[in-house]
Amino acid sequence: MILGKKESALDRVLGQVDSLDEINLANLVNKLARERAFLETIFNTSLEGILVITDGGVIEYANVASYKMIGLKDADVGESTLWRLIPGLRTSLGIEEEGRLESSVSSRELELTYPEHRYVRLYILPFEGDTELEEESAGEARFVVILSDITAEKQSSEESLESERVSSILLLAAGVAHELGNPLNSITIHLQLMERQLAKLEQSPQHDKLASSVEVCREEVTRLDGIIKNFLEAIRPQVPDFQTLDLYATLEESLEFQASELEDRGIQVEIDAGTETPIVRADKQQVKQVFFNVTKNAMEAMQPGGLIQVKIQSDEERFYLRFGDSGTGIGQEHLSQVFQPYHTTKEGGTGLGLMIVQRIMREHGGQVGIDSKEGVGTVVTLEFPKQNRKFRMLE
């Protein structure tokens, strides 16, 4: 197993294996066995499930923790696919029946019912640039799957939830106070200038300068208003007003509201509505807010003239709305933090948009997933439970 690019003493010996005599060859085999046992021990002491899969989903390696999490058996390794053991994952990732994983990073939260009921956070990461591994497998790509059990996080006691809520509010308050400082200072300075000019001037050539100052104040007030709005929505979420809702019609309304901004940026939106009308039980205003935030992020990730593609799919239990952009993508180091408050890579961003999206989706019994590749773009998948979900028998 290759742990890094730097050549080790063992690598040098392996390079001379053809010239080794019987004794040295036996020593080399023993050394390889010890190193394999050492690495196995490291992986098996991890509390997180670690798997290696092919781009077709076939499981080639699994540590002890992953056996317990997804009900894996020895006979499954090398034979079964991850899609069989975690039903719905293939659809969530947008992979067709005979399709294969692409070299992007993916993040999902899943609810598992077998071998026991639990919630799992899943990351899929490609082996980047591992040419030796690809040559050994006839060019077939490999991916690392990391599974974290977040059941305790989901089933926290009321006391723990209250503590987290207070901590979140304090964090939000600190961030908002910091964000409000700069625009307030700017407004104060320009208002002082306006007061001095107004005291001296009525009809004067200085009028344009005064109008410019007023415009600056207006822009800063708008920015301030947006920050306060996001802050209030994050700390005072409303209970959803569930009603029968057509997601496609709601999406069209949301895009119509953003039409002028899309036109200004020269961004096109293409929608593949699928074959089934996406009817769910949901709060219309909150769902529109989700669509608005996701589309806004996509717009801001692209240069003018970009393309947003929305694809609506379904299976027996859920509708999947995939928002794909042609933007810069999200790096692996940022993917695990995109739902944290105030984590943003955008200049002037608040870092609250995706946190609000995740909260609303959870309150609707849904999930939000992200697949991204730097320099190619990002796909945000919104999963909504169907209005009349069918029961699926366990295998």
Neighbours of 227 (CB within 10 A): 16
Q: What is the pLDDT of residue 17?
A: 67
Q: Are residues 278 and 296 in the same domain?
A: yes
Q: What is the pLDDT of residue 57?
A: 93
- 88 lies in a domain? yes
- 365 lies in a domain? yes
DSSP one-letter code for 390: P
The tens digit of pLDDT for each residue in 350-389 reads 556 788 888 889 889 999 999 998 889 999 999 999 987 6
Residue type, 269: V
Least confident of 5-9, 139-143, 246-250: 5-9
Strand partners for 123: 107, 146
Distance CA 200, CA 54 (A): 75
- 7 lies in a domain? no
Alpha-helix residue ranges (DSSP H) falling in 236-331: 247-257, 259-265, 284-301
Distance CA 175, CA 228 (A): 11
What's the CATH number where 226 sits?
A: 1.10.287.130
Mean pLDDT across the chain: 80
Q: What is the pLDDT of residue 49?
A: 93
| Lookup: tokens for 327 | 């933007």
With 0-12 / 13-18 / 19 or more C-beta atoms within 10 angstroms meaning exposed / middle / buried, residue 334 is middle
Q: Are residues 165 and 215 in the same domain?
A: yes
Neighbours of 294 (CB within 10 A): 24
Q: What is the share, in percent, of the chain residues with pLDDT greater than 90?
A: 35
Q: Are residues 294 and 184 in the same domain?
A: no
190 in Cβ contact with 216 (< 8 Å): yes
pTM: 0.63
Q: Are residues 300 and 377 in the same domain?
A: yes
**Alpha carbon of 131 to those of 5, 78, 183, 308: distances in Å?**
12, 21, 51, 33
pLDDT band at 26 (very low <50, low <70, confident <90, very high): confident
pLDDT band at 47 (very low <50, low <70, confident <90, very high): confident
- 71 lies in a domain? yes
Find the mean pLDDT for residues 10-31: 72
Given 235, 260, 280, the domain boundary residue is: 235
Q: Are residues 277 and 378 in the same domain?
A: yes
Residue type, 332: Q
The tens digit of pLDDT for each residue in 306-350 reads 999 999 999 988 999 999 999 988 877 777 667 766 555 555 555
- 231 lies in a domain? yes
121 in Cβ contact with 147 (< 8 Å): yes
The tens digit of pLDDT for each residue in 114-130 reads 888 898 999 999 986 55
What's the CATH number where 140 sits?
A: 3.30.450.20
- 180 lies in a domain? yes
Cis peptide before 237 (omega within 30 of 0): no
- 290 lies in a domain? yes
Q: Are residues 379 and 300 in the same domain?
A: yes
Neighbours of 105 (CB within 10 A): 23
Distance CA 94, CA 322 (A): 8
The boundaries of the domain holding residue 194 are 158-235
Q: Are residues 136 and 183 in the same domain?
A: no
- 394 lies in a domain? no
Q: How many domains are there within the chain?
A: 3
Given 235, 258, 277, the domain boundary residue is: 235
Classify 8 as helix, strand or coil: coil
Given 197, 212, 235, the domain boundary residue is: 235
Q: Are residues 145 and 222 in the same domain?
A: no
The owner of tokens 């059990």 is 149
Find the mean pLDDT for residues 166-182: 64
Q: Are residues 88 and 190 in the same domain?
A: no
Residues 6+ apart with CB under 8 A from 295: 254, 255, 258, 269, 308, 323
DSSP letters, 116-172, are S-EEEEEEEEE-TT-HHHHHHTTT--EEEEEEEE-HHHHT--HHHHHHHHHHHHHHH
Least confident of 65-79, 151-165, 257-271, 280-294: 151-165
Q: The sheet that has 268-272: what strands, in order across it?
A: 59-62, 49-54, 142-149, 118-126, 105-112, 367-373, 377-385, 318-325, 307-314, 268-272
Q: Are residues 199 and 294 in the same domain?
A: no
Distance CA 48, CA 65 (A): 6
The tens digit of pLDDT for each residue in 203-262 reads 666 666 777 777 777 777 777 766 666 665 655 567 888 999 999 999 999 999 888 889
